[in-house]
Amino acid sequence: MYEQFKTRAEAVSAEVHRFGAKPAALNFILDFLKAEGVADAPQAYALWADCPFLDGLDLPSQRELPGLKFQVTRELAAMAKFGISQAGWALADTGTLVQDSTAVEGRLVSTLTEIHIALLPTNTILPDMPTLLTLVHPDQSSYIAMITGPSRTADIERVLTIGVHGPSRLIIVCVDELGGAN
């Protein structure tokens, strides 16, 4: 299932990584942010929306990694470069991430930023849409959000261009030992 998901997600320009445990995934994200020049300045900082991944983790302080913030507001999101959130499920046959986005923070960091880093418990990858619809119902979520690759358009001369209103990069970080908690 993972392999199919990865192939399909990469086919629509998402970047897919996989880690066994949380610490390795965290290290990857921190290294990625540093390499991409995260800093405590407009258009350079990262916002991490509250999610199960963060439970019980030792996170770097602002002093250790300036520019990584855990408070999400509309104003902050509007000027952030990176947004980090967790997806609840994924669809293997289309390479799609699925989030319960009832809480607005998850949407803000995954839409207003330039780079969206999405955590995904590897064992929540489902085969397809019909399976998802039997598991996730509007009674549980007022805003079920699906994300397949970065924002794109072909509205000018049918030329595919990445990054219109949403992120121009989507980094998917699959974690095997994250559990299926949503």
Partner 1 sequence: MTTEFKESIHQAVNNANLTGALGKFSEAYKVNRAKAYEGIDFEELRGRIAELKSSAAAHLDELSLEFARNAEARGAKVFRSSNPAEIREYILKVARDNGVKTVVKSKSMATEEIHLNPFLEKAGITVGETDLGEWIIQLAGQTPSHMVMPAIHMTKEEVSDLFSKEVNERLTADIPRLVKVAREQLRPMFLEADMGISGGNIACAETGSIVLMTNEGNARLVTTLPKIHIALVGIEKLVEHYRDIAPILKALPRSATAQLLTSYVSIISGPTPNPDGSLKELHIILMDNRRSEMAADPKFKQALQCIRCASCLNVCPVFRLVGGHVFGKVYTGGIGTILTAWFDELKKSEDIQGLCIQCGNCKEVCPGKIDIPELIMEIRRRLVKDQGLPLLQKAIYSVVNNRKLFHGMLRAASLAGKPLASGGLIRHLPLFLADLTNGRSLPAIASRPFRDRFREISQPKLQEKAVFYAGCLIDFAYPEQGEALVKILNKAGIEVVFPEEQTCCGAPARYNGAYEVAAGNAVDNIKALLSVDAAYVVSACPTCTVALAHEFISTFESLGQDEWLPKARELAAKTVDFSTLVKKLVDAGRLTLKEGAQLGAITYHASCHLKRTLKVAAEPRELLQKAGYQLKEMFECDSCCGMGGSYSIKLPEISGPILQRKLHNIKESGAATVVMDCPGCVMQIRGGMDQDGATIRVRHTVELLADRLAD
Q: Which residues bind partner 1 (CB under 8 A)?
A: 8, 12, 73-74, 78, 91, 93-96, 101-104, 107-108, 111-112, 128-130, 133-134, 137-139, 141-159, 161, 163-167
Spatial separation of the C-alpha atoms in residues 39 and 110, rounded to whole Å: 19
Report the residue number, 67 or 149, with the smaller CB distance to partner 1: 149
Q: Kindly state the smallest distance separating residue 13's Cβ from partner 1, in Å.
A: 10
Report the residue number, 35 or 156, with the smaller CB distance to partner 1: 156
Report the residue number, 25 or 51, with the smaller CB distance to partner 1: 51
**How many CB atoms within 10 Å of residue 121?**
22
Q: Kindly state the smallest distance separating residue 54's Cβ from partner 1, in Å.
A: 20
Q: Kindly state the smallest distance separating residue 116's Cβ from partner 1, in Å.
A: 10
Q: Kindly state the smallest distance separating residue 47's Cβ from partner 1, in Å.
A: 12
Spatial separation of the C-alpha atoms in residues 132 and 135, rounded to whole Å: 5
Spatial separation of the C-alpha atoms in residues 46 and 39, rounded to whole Å: 8
Report the residue number, 67 or 150, with the smaller CB distance to partner 1: 150
DSSP-assigned beta bridge partners for residue 34: none
C-beta of residue 168 within 8 angstroms of C-beta of residue 115: yes
- What count of Cα atoms within 13 Å lies in the side-chain half-sphere of residue 66? 7
